[in-house]
């Protein structure tokens, strides 16, 4: 069950969960505000918390509304696609064989069966991007898990609409957005470290910030770089 806080021009959706702290999110594309709060916390207390964060909420909404968005992909020859931050021109190749994707210095070639439509092209390319992230992650884990003295029990790579990554600290699970394969590899590394850090500190409190500053001093610059990059066009459900 959801409650809604009406703060004049701003509305916040409130969900209560079995958590210890309040989590505040400002979601793309338009900056919808969502609050996850402990089950026993009163709506008045949540309201005071949200009001105290209004300047931060407004700043996040302005960033989201100003962020460049990709135009919808049509999967046509010479359409721009990205891998690890570099632009490639798409080349569609038809063959009566298993779908495949290959990369040359300037082209990204998508081999697809004759008659395959746009949806199938997108499915094949998404699976390929997912595999690129999966292939890159083990090296990053081997570097950062010993440094942070943590262990991710499982890493999932999936299409995510509102986050670059997430962590379930109790289970040791980390989830990464497939679209990170389109961004510079240092952005993927930042997200991996960010989520691993949540195995030490589940919230974004001062301790979390201090740990990030200690182990990855340039993390805030990387976050800004990632958030400035164009994001996938989505038909958002809200």
Q: What is the pLDDT along the chain (238 residues), one digit of tens a residue?
A: 578 888 887 889 999 988 888 888 887 667 889 899 998 899 999 999 999 999 999 888 887 666 555 566 788 889 999 999 999 999 999 999 999 999 999 999 999 999 999 999 999 999 999 999 999 999 999 999 999 999 999 999 998 877 899 999 999 999 999 999 999 999 999 999 999 999 999 988 899 999 999 999 999 899 888 876 555 533 322 2
The verdict on 172 and 56 lying in the same domain is: no
Residue 44: inside a domain = yes
Answer yes or no: is 238 within a domain: no
- Which burial class, exposed, middle or buried, applies to 34 when counting CB atoms under 10 A from its CB (0-12, 13-18, 19+)? middle
DSSP letters, 85-143, are TEEEEEEEEE-SS--EEEE-SSEEEEEE-TT--HHHHHHHHHHHHHHHHHHHHHHHHHH
In a domain, 66, yes or no: no
β-strand 32-38 against 10-17: which pairing, if any?
Answer: parallel
Select from 61, 90, 112 the last residue of a domain.
61
Residues 165/158/167/83 CA torsion (nearest 10 deg): -30
Task: Please indicate, yes or no, whether residues 206 and 89 belong to a single structural domain of this protein.
Answer: yes
Residue 91 lies in a domain: yes
Asked whether residue 70 is domain-assigned, the answer is no
Identify the three-state secondary structure at position 180.
Answer: helix
Task: Tell whether 16 is covered by a domain.
Answer: yes
Q: Are residues 43 and 84 in the same domain?
A: no
* Nearest in space to 208 (alpha carbons), one of 197, 217, 222, 219: 197
Sheet bearing 10-17, strands edge to edge: 2-7, 10-17, 32-38, 23-27
How many angstroms separate the CA atoms of 216 and 211, rounded?
8
Query: Do 161 and 116 share a domain, yes or no?
Result: yes
- Total domains, the chain: 2
Q: What is the pLDDT of residue 60?
A: 82
Res 49: pLDDT: 93
* Same structural domain, 88 and 192: yes
- Same-domain check for residues 42 and 125: no
- Tell whether 85 and 151 lie within a shared domain: yes
pTM, to two decimals: 0.71
For residue 21, being part of any structural domain is answered with: yes
Q: 86-94 and 165-168 as β-strands: parallel, antiparallel, unpaired? A: unpaired
> What's residue 161's pLDDT?
76
**206 shares a domain with 119:** yes
Q: Are strands 86-94 and 107-112 parallel, antiparallel or unpaired?
A: parallel
Range of 20's domain?
A: 2-61
Residue 108 belongs to a domain with what CATH number?
3.30.2010.10
The answer to the question of residue 235 being in a domain is no
Q: Do 32 and 95 belong to one domain?
A: no
47 and 114 in a single domain? The answer is no
193 token code pair: 């470290």
221 and 121 in a common domain: yes
Asked whether residue 84 falls in the same domain as residue 48, the answer is no
Residue 72 gets which letter from DSSP? Answer: P
pLDDT at position 226 is 82
């Amino acid at each position: 069950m959801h409650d809604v806080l009406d703060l004049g021009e701003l509305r916040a959706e409130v969900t209560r969960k079995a958590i210890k702290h309040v989590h505040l999110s400002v979601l793309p594309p338009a900056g919808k505000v969502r609050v996850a709060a402990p089950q026993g916390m009163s709506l008045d207390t949540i309201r005071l918390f949200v009001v105290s964060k209004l300047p931060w909420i407004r700043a996040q909404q302005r960033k989201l509304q100003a962020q460049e968005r990709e135009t919808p992909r049509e999967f046509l020859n010479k359409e721009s696609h990205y891998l690890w931050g570099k632009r490639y021109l798409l080349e569609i190749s038809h063959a009566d064989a298993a779908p495949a994707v290959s990369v040359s210095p300037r082209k990204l070639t998508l081999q697809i069966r004759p008659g395959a439509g746009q949806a199938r092209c997108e499915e094949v390319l998404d699976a390929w991007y997912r595999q690129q992230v999966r292939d890159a992650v083990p090296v990053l884990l081997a570097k950062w898990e010993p440094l942070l003295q943590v262990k991710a029990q499982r890493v999932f790579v999936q299409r995510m609409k509102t986050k670059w990554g997430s962590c379930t600290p109790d289970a040791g699970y980390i989830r990464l957005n497939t679209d990170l394969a389109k961004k510079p590899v240092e952005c993927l590394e930042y997200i991996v470290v960010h989520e691993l850090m949540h195995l030490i500190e589940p919230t974004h409190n001062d301790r979390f910030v201090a740990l990030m500053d200690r182990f990855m001093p340039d993390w805030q610059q990387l976050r800004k770089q990632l958030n400035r990059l164009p994001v996938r066009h989505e038909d958002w459900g809200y």
